[in-house]
Structure 1
Amino acid sequence: MSKINELVESLTTPILDDMNLELVEVEFVKEGSSWFLRVFIDKESGVDIEECGLVSERLSEKLDELDPIQQNYFLEVSSPGAERPLKKEKDFHKAIGKLVYVKTYEPIDGLKEMEGVLTSYDGETLVLAMKIKTRKKNVTIPKEKVAKARLAVSFS
């Protein structure tokens, strides 16, 4: 995690704690010629635009006070959406029984991208119940081999 992400996380956490919200992710990225500081927040029932706006105002004040970022950037505070990333231990535990997408660093059972129901997570391995054509298969994925994981949305 970059120093900017760590600093923004430390500035954001007290604001979110005060509002009973959760920090999902911070990203500081360059897209084209512009820099974006994105802060994704959530709560069990979902966040609304007013909550995002309030967090944005309060965080912006803190960032203006400290002025830790050299580049000009756009601050965006939003919900992670339906395809919320799974990063922290509790994210994986909360996703048990839900449809998830997992991308791995190297192939597992010949696949680097998988989608299925997360049936278990013990801190070290994930087990996905996948449907491959007409047969069902459980795939065990070591946590250290997960490059990216998120909730998935099914349109069927």
Structure 2
Amino acid sequence: MARPDDTTLPARVRELALPLAEELEVDLVDVEVKGQQGRRVVKLVADAIGPGDGLDVDTIAMLSRKVGNVLDETDLVPGAYTLEVTSPGATRPLRRPRDFTRNTGREVDVIRREELGDPRTLRGEVTGADDDAVTLETADGPVRVPLADIDHGKVVLPW
């Protein structure tokens, strides 16, 4: 297998990791590769596919083993590397329909793209999301916000 350059390495790692994540019913949210050859950190951000409490430690460990084995077999990341598998965390930006669906029932702030004007932030409970829009139950009633208008969303933390 030809070695990818630094700009394509995250995409190539994603390509190898995605079927393994899907096999475990895990959503591969993001892939990052940082550092120089011999000291790289390969970071996979993974979450449960549906709404809920996220991944358990056993599933994260299994994904880590499977991806690590494939990376070692293919030598896609030359030299020494550290593989980290982590969950997105409460403060990670929500951008995809799946991100919002996962947070159904939670209060979120939806930040609209700057060029759309005010009000830029809408707060409400996520009641649904599809490929076109996110639906929030706001203080003024239900609001459907087109995904094309959203810069990002974030979960409102209870503290």
Taking structure 2 as the reference length, what is the TM-score of the superposition?
A: 0.65
* Identity across the alignment (%): 25
CA gap 1:22/1:57 in 2 versus in 1, 3 angstroms: same
Count of residue pairs brought into register by the alignment: 148
- The corresponding residue for 1:13 is 18
Tell me if the contact between 2:55 and 2:87 (Cα under 8 Å) persists in the aligned partners. yes
What CA deviation, in whole Å up to 9, does each residue of 1:107-130 have, x standing for no partner? 656244443212444532334334
Report the AA paired with residue 106 of structure 1: E
CA distance in 2, matches of 1:137, 1:22: 33
CA gap 1:35/1:14 in 2 versus in 1, 3 angstroms: closer
Tell me if the contact between 2:108 and 2:126 (Cα under 8 Å) persists in the aligned partners. yes
- The corresponding residue for 1:39 is 45
Report the AA paired with residue 59 of structure 1: V
- The corresponding residue for 2:158 is 155
Gaps of 5+ in 2: 1-6
Shift of 1:94: 4.8
Shift of 1:56: 0.9
CA gap 1:76/1:111 in 2 versus in 1, 3 angstroms: farther
- Greater than 6 Å deviation, 4+ residue runs: none
CA distance in 1, matches of 2:57, 2:128: 33
Match of 1:52 among 28, 48, 60: 60
Tell me if the contact between 1:24 and 1:80 (Cα under 8 Å) persists in the aligned partners. no
- Larger strand proportion of the pair: 1
CA gap 1:92/1:7 in 2 versus in 1, 3 angstroms: same
What CA deviation, in whole Å up to 9, does each residue of 1:120-156 have, x standing for no partner? 445323343344xxxx465553311322234x24426
Tell me if the contact between 1:35 and 1:72 (Cα under 8 Å) persists in the aligned partners. no
Task: Identify which range, 64-73 or 45-54, moves more after superposition.
Answer: 64-73
CA distance in 1, matches of 2:111, 2:81: 29
- Asked if 1:28 corresponds to 2:28, the answer is no
CA RMSD of aligned residues (A): 3.5
